Structure 1
Amino acid sequence: MNVVKPMVNGIADIVNLSLCDVALERAISRTTNLPGMVCMYGPSGFGKSVAATHVANRRRAYYVQAKSVWTKKATLKAILDEMGIRPLLTIPEMLDQAAEELAKSGRPLIIDEMDHLVDKKAVELIRDLYEASQAAILLIGEEQLPNKLKKYERFHGRILAWVPAQPVTLEDAKKLTPLYAPFVEIADDLLHHVVKLSAGSVRRVAVNMEMIQEEANATGWLVVDLAAWGKRELYTGEAPKRRI
């Protein structure tokens, strides 16, 4: 029988949430002479953004999720909006505003989807913000983010820790069950099958659990194992083959 694992404020306390929290804590509690930026990276679907938003609430961090269209000015405006500060007109003025708030408040900054800022060549802007504030900054990005940042030696050298997001595990899946399949007990053999098909993605596990819950609602299952599930389809992320 599956044991329901504890949740934190309605969020399953899976491995990547803990890794994200520990990464930011390292930056916050670092000694004075150590760099203050940390980077968590991994494939899409590993739950990095969900972990980051939860950690932002836990740590009272300012949180922004970068967009592909952001310019340097748009980036600073988004950060200042998150801080509740009315932006001044120029990029240097806005940079000073954001840095002053970070330094004064002592609150960390989380930048999600950092790859977009690398692609827009806004990396030095974030370095300037860090240098001016010495704030703890957590960067969240895709699997290739560390390689992208290697091109920026002065930025790369200010990363205190590189934290690879981990693929979803069976234990993670058990913690996710109360959120996505609360009214059916999913046996370990079916959970293991779901984890294997999901190729490390927390998102795919969640989708599959909702599919199992829907099927359970339709069939009246209270408990379902791999044998009961049978040959029913599960979500793998692949588009279905066309049948003509």
Structure 2
Amino acid sequence: MKSVVAPVKNVAATQIAFETLLQRSMGVPGIGLIHGPTGTGKTTATTYLYNQVNGVYVSARAHDTTISLTSRIVEELGAPPMYRISKCVDYIIEQMSMFERPLFIDEADYLMNDTRMLETVRDIYDGTEIPIILIGMDQIARRISTRKQFYNRISEWVEFRPADLEDVVTMADYLLDDGIKVDEELLDNLRMSSSGELRRITIGLSKIESLALANDLEIVTLDDWGDQPFHGLRG
């Protein structure tokens, strides 16, 4: 399998939203929210994006405090850990502003459990106006709507959805070794078996590729695959 990011609809929507944040008009807020169920490719899409734009990436944790989160952002910016929130925030604002480095916060649902953490992220945005991207599960959009001061700073909302057949075809085209093709009926079977989860689709494509290589198949059909499972054990 090739080590690339397939340009499925969720990935394209993420890139468009980020470009919109960069090119926004004066007065338009610059925070974006990416949300959706697990397995839909949020982390993969944003990891690819922040690497392209020299972004700063951190993942929030269940037991984070404001100081632990801001200290990790400081470390990602290349400095030793700091142990006062005010020093951390000042340094983050200085560095993000000086080098125009957007901030990506994964597992942002955990911010909802601590008003001070959420308000600190808002302070960082207000001090820089450099885009901040939050990545969270499908309930974060509802939860964040109750925090009006923060909610009003979000101008781009991207909801990640399960892959459709067109996405699975795109993934097969981009991820499988050259010369290996998969019949669309088998790809749709994989989509249904995976409930559209990109992680599980990727695992299934890897197994299809192994079957093709082991049997010297140029195109793999549903008949070639048979009734073997794409994931886990045979039922």
Q: Which amino acid is 1:16 matched to?
A: N
- Secondary structure of the corresponding residue to residue 163 of structure 2: coil
Deviation (angstroms), 1:181: 3.6
Q: Give the aligned partner of residue 223 of structure 1.
A: 219
Correspondent of 2:133 among 129, 138, 161: 138
Which of 157, 161, 170 does residue 166 from structure 1 map onto?
A: 161
| Gap runs ≥5 in structure 2 | none
Distance 1:29 1:137 in 2: 14
> Counterpart amino acid of 1:101?
Q
Query: Structure 1, residues 87-131: CA drift from partner, whole Å, max 9, x if none?
Result: 433111111110121122222111111112223442112111111
Q: What's 2:122 paired with?
A: 127
When normalised by structure 2's length, the TM-score is 0.89
CA-CA distance at 1:192 after TM superposition = 1.3
SS at match of 2:133: strand
Alignment match, 1:84: 78
Distance in 1, Cα, partners of 2:143 & 2:64 = 18
Residue 106 (structure 1) aligned to one of 70, 78, 100: 100
The TM-score with structure 1 as length reference comes to 0.86
Q: Is the 8 A contact 2:164 2:191 kept in 1?
A: yes
Residue 53 of structure 1 deviates from its aligned partner by 0.8
Q: Does residue 213 in structure 1 map to residue 212 in structure 2?
A: no
Letter aligned with residue 44 of structure 1: T
Residue 62 (structure 1) aligns with: 56
Q: Secondary structure at the residue paired with 1:30?
A: coil
Secondary structure, aligned partner of 2:24: coil
How many residues are treated as equivalent by the alignment? 232
* Partner of residue 143 from structure 2, selected from 145, 148, 171: 148
Cα deviation, 1:128-154, whole Å, max 9, x if unaligned, reads 111122111111111111111123111
Written as runs of structure 1 = structure 2, the 5 A alignment for 1:2-81 is: 10-81=4-75
CA–CA distance in 2 between the matches of 1:67 and 1:77?
13
Percent same amino acid among aligned pairs?
A: 28
| SS of aligned partner of 1:34 | coil
List gaps (5 residues or longer) in structure 1. Answer: 1-6
Considering only aligned residues, what root-mean-square deviation do their CA atoms show, in Å? 2.2
Does the 8 Å contact 2:74/2:82 carry over to 1?
no
